[in-house]
Structure 1
Amino acid sequence: MRILDLTAILVSLTAALTFLNARYLKLPTSIGITIGGLIVSLVVFGLVELDVPFARDAVELVRGIQFSDFVFEGVLSFLLFAGALGVNSPALWSLRGPVISFALLSTALSIALVGGGMYLLLGLFNLDIPLVYCLLFGALISPTDPIAVLGMLKEAKVPKRIETLVAGESLFNDGVGVVAFAVLASVAAVSQVGGSHGAGGHGPELSVAGVAGFFAQEALGGLVLGAVLGYIAWLALRALDDFVAEVLVTLSLVLACTAVATQLHVSAPLAAVAAGLLVGSLNDRVPSALSARERYEGFWHLTDELLNIFLFALLALEVVAVRFSVQSLLLGALAIPLVLLARTISVQIPISVLRRRHEFSPFTRRLMIWGGLRGAISVALAFSVPAGKERDLFLVMTYVVVVFSIVVQGLSVGRLAAKAGADHEARERPAEN
C-alpha cells in the first residue's frame, strides 16, 4: 500500500464519518468523528486479527507516520492561530489576570498532581518508572481541547465572560503545556545520558535556575517572536484589500512562526497564539480592515474545522498501531479519575485565590472542570515520548483518557452549558424588566 492510497482512504473515511454525523448523529463534529473512529478502529482490529492483508498493510504504513511531527510541525500552529484569531481580544485582555493564572498555575498544579499520583499508582503495580517520566505524563495530559465545548457554550448562550475565559485558558494552556513537556522531556533525556545539558546543548541545565531559564526562553521567546511577526503581518494586511493576498499573508505568518521558532528553540505554539491575538486585536482598532478581517477569518474558521476533523480521523487510524495490554488498559481507566481530580483541584485553587479581586459567573468552575476535554494534542505528545516501555504505556493510557474525555464529558457537558445559559437568562430577565 502506498501513502497515496492511505491518504485517499483517510480522506474518504473522514468524509463518510462527517456525513453520517451531520445527517444522523448531529453531534459536535469532534465528538461524532471520535465515536465513528472508535468503531472503525474496532473493525480494523478485527481485520488485523483475521490477518487480512489489506488491513495489515494499512497498520504497518500508519506505524511509519510521525504523528507528533505532523501535529507539532504542521497542524498545531494553524489550529492555535485560528483559535486566537477568533477570540475577542479586548474581552480576553480584560480577563488577562485569570487567564494567565489558569494557564500557568493550573497547568503546573495539574502536572504535579497527575505526575505524583501516577508515580504512586505505578508503584502499586510494581512498575519502576522514574518520577520525571510520570511528570511527563502529567504534562502531556494537562493541555485541554475545548473546540467542541466552545460550540456548545455559544449555542447555550452562556455568559461571554465564561466563553472567553474557557477559550483563553485553553489557548495558553496548550502552549504552556507543550513547553512544560519539552522541558521535562529534556530533563528526562539529560538524566538518562548523564551530563549537565540536553542533546545538542539545547536542553536545560539540571538545576532550578537552568530549568526556569529554559522554560522562560521557550515561553517568553515564543510570545515575543509571535508578537514581532504578527505586527509585521498586520502592516502588510493594512495595505491590502485582496482576499487571496490576505490569506497568503496569514498562511505565511503561521508557517514563519513555526519555522523560525524551531530554529530559535522557542515555543511555536505560543508564537502562533501571540500572532493570532495581535493580528485580531489590531484589526479591531482599524475600521477599514473589518470587512477584510471577516473574509480571512471565514477562511481560518473553515481551516480550523477541517483540520480538527482530519486530525480526529487520523487519530482513529493511529490507535490501531498502538499495542494494548490488559494492564495498560486498567491503568488508563484508573488515570481517568486521577486526571479529573487534578483538574478539579487545579481549577478550584486559582478561583479561590482570584475570587477576592475578580467575579466569576455561576457555573464557571463546573464548566471549566467538566469542559476541560483532552484531545489530539495529548496523543501527539504521547507519541513524542522517547521509545521504550514508558512510551508504550503512556500511549494506551492517554488514548483511554482522551476517549473518555471526548465521548463521556463531551456528550454531557452540553446539558451543563444549557443550565448555565438558562441561569444567565433568568438572572438577566429581572434587570430587563
Structure 2
Amino acid sequence: MSAALEFLYRVLALLALALAIRILVDVWLEIPYSILLILVGVGISVQPIDVGLRLSHDVIMSLVLPLILFNGVIKLNRRVLRENIVVPLVLVVVGVPLAVALLGAVTAVAFGLPVLVSLLLAGIVVPTDPVAVLSLFEEIDAPERLSVIIDSESLFNDGVAVVIVNVLLVLIAEHPPATGGSGLASTVVLELLVVGVGGFLIGSVLGYAATQFIRRVPERMAVLLSTVLVAYGSYVIATSVVGVSGILATVGAGLFVETTASEGLEIDRDTLEFVRDTWEGGSFLLSTLVYVLIGAQVQIASLVTHLWSILVATVLVLLVRAVVVYSLVGIVNVTAATKTPRSYQHMLVWGGLHTVVPIALALGLPAGLPHREFIQTVVFGVAITGALVQGLLMPTVLRVTGIQERASRLGASDRAE
C-alpha cells in the first residue's frame, strides 16, 4: 500500500468512527460531540492503538486554526457582537493577562516552578476553546447573545495568549532574563500592542480588500477561493512576512470579509450561503479529526505519573477562570446598559475548556526548555480532565442555570408563532 493510500485509509477510518459517534450522540447521548471524540481518542491511547496520524504545533497553528477561527468569525452575528463587544473585549484585553499572572503565581507555589516557567505554563493553558459548548448550544437553541460572547472571547484570546507565550519563551531563553517584574509586564504589553494589534490590523485590511474584490467577481467559486486566500494568506503574511500575530490576522480578516447578505452588497444570497456552508463543512471535518487525535496522542503513563499535579492544575485553572470572569463581568455590569446575567457568567466559567490551542502551544515548546515534559503533561491532562468533567456535566449546568429551560420556552413560542 502506498503512503498516500495508507494515509487516506487512516483518515477514512477515523471519519467512520466519528460518524458512528455522531449518530450515537444524536440518537441516545446528551453529551457534546467534540467531548466524546476526545474521550474516544483517549480510549484509543489506552488500548493502545496506533492510528498512524500525529498532531504537531505547525499543523494545528498553520492548517487547523486558520480554518476553525475564520469559520467561527464569519458565523458571528455582527449586530449582536457590536452590542455585546465590551464583555469579550474586557475578558481578552484585561482577563487573559490577569489570568496568566494569577495562575502563574499560584502554580509557582503549588509546583515549585521558577516564576517565568510557571507563567509560561499559565500562558499556555489559559486560552479557551468553545467548540464543544457551542455545538451543544446549537442543539438546544441557546440564546444567541451568550453564544456570541463565548465565541468571540475565545476567538480573540487565542491570539493574545500566543503573543504572551512567545514573549515568555524569549525571556526564559535569556538565562537569566534581562528584565524584572515591571520590565516583564511592560514587555508583554508592548508585544501585545505591536504583535497583536498589528496582526489584527493586517487581517482587517486584507479582509476589507477581499470584500471589495468579491463584490466585483460574484461567481460563487471565485468568492469561495477569495475567502480561502484571505483566511490563510492573512495568517502567512502576518506570521512569515511581517512577524506579527497570524491568529489575530485571520480573526481580523474574518470580521471584515462580508459573507452575510445585506443591502448594498452586490453578491447573491445563495452564493454567500454556499460559502458559509462550505467553511462550516470544512471546519467540522477538520475539527473532528483533531479532537480524536488529541485524545489518541495522550501519553497515559505520563498522565498517571503526574496525576496529582494535573488534578491540582485543573482546579486552579477553573478557580482562576472564575475569579477573572466574575470580577471583570461584574465591573462591566456596573456601567453597562444591558447586564450580563449571572447564568451567562456561570457558563463563561464552566464552558471555558482548554484543548486545541493549549495543546498546540505545548507541542511547540522547544527542546531543552526547563520543565518541558512537565508542562506538556499538565496541559494535556488539563485538556482531558476538563473535557471529562466540565464537558460531560455541561448539559446539567445548562439545566441548573435555567438556560436550557429558557431556550426551550423561546423555541416553543417561536414555533407557535
**TM-score where L is the length of structure 1:** 0.85
Query: Does structure 2 retain, via aligned residues, the 8 Å contact 1:328–1:397?
Result: yes
Alignment of 1:230-245 (within 5 A): 230-245=207-222
In the alignment, is the contact (CA less than 8 A) between 1:114 and 1:338 conserved in 2? yes
Which residue identity is paired with 2:82?
W
Pick which of 371-380 and 183-192 moved more: 183-192
Check whether the contact 2:21–2:36 (CA below 8 A) recurs between aligned residues. Answer: yes
Count of residue pairs the alignment pairs up: 402
**Residue type matched to 2:119 in 1?**
L
Deviation larger for 338-347 or 377-386: 377-386
Give the C-alpha shift of residue 79 in structure 1.
1.1
Asked whether the 8 Å contact 1:109–1:342 carries over to 2, the reply is no
Distance 1:120 1:210 in 2: 24
Letter matched to residue 334 of structure 2: R
Per-residue deviation at 1:177? Answer: 1.4
CA 1:284–1:68 in 2, change beyond 3 Å: closer, same or farther? farther
- Quote the residue 1:95 is aligned against: 84
Residue 312 of structure 1 is matched in structure 2 by: 291
Please show how residues 264-279 of structure 1 align to structure 2 within 5 Å: 264-279=242-257
Which of the residues 51, 58, 72 maps onto 1:83? Answer: 72
Contact preservation (8 Å) 2:42, 2:296: no
Does residue 1:173 correspond to 2:154, yes or no?
no
Measured in 1, the distance between the counterparts of 2:303 and 2:134 equals 35
Which digits, 9 at most, give the CA deviation of each residue in 1:84-127, with x for residues without a partner? 0100112111112112101122212211121111111112xxxx
Q: CA deviation at 1:415?
A: 2.9
Does 2:394 correspond to 1:390? Answer: no
Task: Say which of 152, 156, 171 aligns to 2:136.
Answer: 152
Return the match for 1:365 from 345, 362, 370. 345
For residues 303 and 144 of structure 2, the distance between their equivalents in structure 1, rounded to whole angstroms, comes to 44
Give the whole-Å Cα distance in 1 for the aligned partners of 2:167 and 2:2: 36
What RMSD, in angstroms, separates the aligned Cα atoms of the two structures? 2.8
Cα deviation for residue 323 of structure 1 reads 6.4
Q: Does 1:296 align with 2:275?
A: yes
C-alpha deviation, 1:386, in angstroms: 2.2
Deviates further, 32-41 or 206-215: 206-215
The answer to whether the 8 A contact 2:33-2:135 is kept is: no
Of residues 330, 344, 348, the one that matches 2:308 is 330
Query: Quick one: distance in 2 between partners of 1:304 and 1:142?
Result: 23
* One-letter amino acid matched to 1:161: R
Deviation digits for residues 349-395 of structure 1 (CA, Å, limit 9, x no counterpart): 11110111221134111110001111121111111222245221111
Task: Report the CA distance shift for 1:250/1:25 in structure 2 as closer, same or farther (over 3 A).
Answer: same
Letter in 1 for 2:107: M
- In the TM superposition, residue 397 of structure 1 has moved relative to its aligned partner by 0.8
- What does 1:35-114 align with in structure 2 at a 5 Å threshold? 35-44=39-48, 55=50, 67-114=56-103
Q: Residues of 2 paired with 1:277 and 1:293: CA distance?
A: 15
Equivalent position SS for 2:302: coil
Shift of 1:3: 5.8
> Counterpart in 2 of 1:224?
201
Q: CA deviation at 1:329?
A: 2.5
Q: Within 2, Cα distance between the matches of 1:408 and 1:210?
A: 36
Instruction: Report the Cα offset of residue 37 of structure 1.
Output: 0.5
Question: 1:317/1:35 Cα in 2 relative to 1: closer, same or farther (>3 Å)?
Answer: closer
Q: Distance in 2 between matches of 1:428 and 1:190?
A: 57
**Residue matched to 1:356:** 334
Q: Deviations over 1:71-92 (max 9, x none)?
A: 1122111211110010011211
SS at match of 1:372: coil
Distance 1:362 1:37, change over 3 A: same
Q: Distance in 2 between matches of 1:395 and 1:32?
A: 22
The separation in 2 between residues aligned to 1:163 and 1:73, in whole angstroms, is 26
TM-score normalized with structure 2 length: 0.88
8 Å contact 2:160–2:192 — kept in the other structure? no
